[in-house]
Amino acid sequence: MPELPEVETIVRDLAHLLPGAKIKGVEVVRPDLIEDDTPEGFARKIRGKKIRSVVRRAKNIVMDLGGERLLVNLGMTGRLLVARAGDDEPTHLGVRIGLDRGRELRYHDVRRFGRLWTVTEAQWQAWDGQLGVEPLSDAFSADWLVQAAGRSKVAIKVWLMDQARVVGVGNIYASEALFRARVDPRRPANSLTPDELARVRDGVQAVLREAIDHRGTTFLDYRDARGEEGAFAARLKVYDREGQPCPGCKGHVERIVQGGRSTFFCPSCQH
């Protein structure tokens, strides 16, 4: 499932490719991918609009169409690609958005947990205000963590993955961040000292930035806006490495289950 670095990689590509492009045509192949609208209603709202900018908020791709925003959430297996009209069709094409200068924006999704939808500026402002803190922003400070985590008995790894608190940190990067912070993922959030929470903040930011530099983590499905895989999987230190040597000591990486998800960690390095 794409997390923050994967969506950020796609957004940075699209931010180079799309601003100024005009939406000429819309073809909805899979109507269930369009949230809160009919395919015709969705097409009517975006056709003829110019894409002004592309940004990321949480794990959503947000295109400013001037008065309206087009949002894309990739779900588990969604891909958003810029292609030339007439290029080979991807399998599982869900939505095709025709652009000027012979280009197309194609959304395809094998499992179809992704979605596309539009919001007005007022809806956008309200929704944006409800989402959790961006982990690469200044708001995600050690002080904020002390305040917010200090009130919770939830295990720190589960706490970090709660999108109502911090956005975009999923299972892979939560495990990796806590390894870098040398903090045991099972500890209640409110048991961490301010120094440990500062290390958690640093670990989260370091692993996200490094993953963005390597264009994200591909296990199976994730591709960037050009259809290429990310290169960060080879640099993961604990995630999906159960039984393998810990990169920090002579011990081995262990796997446990927290909140129904696998957590990977080193019991010797993380306390």
The neighbour count for residue 72, using CB atoms within 10 Å, is 24
Q: Between 172 and 246, whose beta carbon lies closer to Zn ion?
A: 246
Q: Between 169 and 266, whose beta carbon lies closer to Zn ion?
A: 266
Q: Which two tokens stand for residue 236?
A: 């993961």
- Catalytic, 261? Answer yes
The nearest distance, CB 217 to Zn ion, in angstroms, is: 21
Angle (CA) 230 109 131, round 5°:
75
Q: Which stretch, 23-31, 140-148, 196-204, 246-254, contacts Zn ion (CB under 5 A)?
A: 246-254
Give the amino acid at 187: R
Task: Give Dmax over CA atoms of the chain in angstroms.
Answer: 60
Does 244 contact Zn ion by CB under 5 A? no
Q: Output the CA torsion sign for 200, 229, 264, 248.
A: negative
Does 268 contact Zn ion by CB under 5 A? yes
Does 20 contact Zn ion by CB under 5 A? no
- Catalytic, 59? Answer yes
- Tell me which residue of 23, 19, 191, 27 sits closest to 107, measured CA to CA: 27
Q: Which two tokens stand for residue 51?
A: 């894409």
Q: Which two tokens stand for residue 150?
A: 């200090």
Q: CA-to-CA distance for 225 and 246, rounded, in angstroms?
A: 33
Q: Which stretch, 80-88, 117-125, 220-228, 250-258, contacts Zn ion (CB under 5 A)?
A: 250-258
Q: Which of 41, 245, 251, 259 binds Zn ion (CB under 5 A)?
A: 251
> Could you tell me how many residues of this chain bind Zn ion (CB under 5 A)?
7
Q: Which of 230, 246, 258, 264 binds Zn ion (CB under 5 A)?
A: 246
The nearest distance, CB 219 to Zn ion, in angstroms, is: 23
Binding mask 201-240 for Zn ion (x = CB under 5 A): ----------------------------------------
The nearest distance, CB 135 to Zn ion, in angstroms, is: 24
Does 242 contact Zn ion by CB under 5 A? no
Contact 52, 66 (CB under 8 A): yes
Out of 3, 8, 176, 196, pick the active-site residue.
Answer: 3
The neighbour count for residue 238, using CB atoms within 10 Å, is 26
Contact 116, 31 (CB under 8 A): no
Instruction: Find tokens 């309200």 and name the residue.
Output: 126
Q: Which two tokens stand for residue 269?
A: 């390095």
Coil, helix or strand at residue 183: coil
Q: Between 18 and 266, whose beta carbon lies closer to Zn ion?
A: 266
Does 269 contact Zn ion by CB under 5 A? yes
Q: Which of 206, 248, 254, 255 binds Zn ion (CB under 5 A)?
A: 248
Active-site annotation, residues: 2-3, 59, 261
Residues near Zn ion (CB under 5 A)? 246, 248-249, 251, 266, 268-269
